[in-house]
Amino acid sequence: MMYFLFLCCGVLSNLFYAHSALLSYQKLVTARSGVNPGRLTNGNDNIEDCFATDDTEDEWVEIDLGKDYLVTRVTIINTVEENYYGKALEGSRVTIASQDSKEVEQNCTEHPISSTQISASVVIDLKCNKKAFGRYVLLRKGKKRLRLCQIRVYSEYEPKRGS
């Protein structure tokens, strides 16, 4: 039942955008710690096959899109666990960095991921600021473990009139 709801909501969320390009499918993923971070971009919606970092300082996950893109939306598929792991994304922040200046990061959104977003749905859909242009998409967490199932990075745009 939960899996059906996830598929339903994922399809519905894509209907709101005129044109959507999934940029992150099977792209290179690195992490500060943890085993097999590549599963975050493999497109597998199995919410039991998730990724976790260690429980240390400054945990992060980075997706290399291969080149700079205008990133308009980042969707994170969270775990469904009611315990600590389901809330592990609270306080995390998504940032975008270009290939020319990787050390200069732009926040995707104004605020970090909140407990309200986490409790509302396993699908956390973040609409980025208009200036989020870059090659590297980073999910950062302060002093706690990161645990999540998928990260999807999109570039969405309105078609030109007459096309």
Q: In this predicted model, what pLDDT tens digit does every residue of 71-95 receive, in sequence order?
A: 999 999 988 766 555 678 889 999 9
pLDDT at 17: 43
**Amino acid in the structure at residue 124:** I
**Using CA atoms, how far apart are residues 17 and 14, in angstroms rounded to an integer?**
6
Tokens of 57: 């300082």
Rounded CA separation 91/114 (Å): 6
- 3 pLDDT more than 80: no
Cα gap 66→147, rounded to integer Å = 24
Q: What is the pLDDT of residues 19-62, one digit of tens each?
A: 678 898 888 898 988 888 998 999 887 777 788 888 888 889 99
CATH class name, domain 2-157? mainly beta
Number of Cβ within a 10 Å radius of residue 123: 18
pLDDT at position 80, please? 74
Residues 14, 49: Cα–Cα separation, whole Å = 23
What is this structure's pTM?
0.80
Q: Is 122 helix (H, G, I), strand (E, B) or coil?
A: coil
Q: CA 161, CA 20: separation in Å to the nearest integer? A: 17
Beta-carbon contacts of 124 under 8 Å, excluding residues fewer than 6 positions away, are 75, 76, 77, 78, 89, 113, 117, 118
Rounded to the nearest angstrom, the gap between the alpha carbon of residue 130 and the centroid of all alpha carbons in its chain is 17
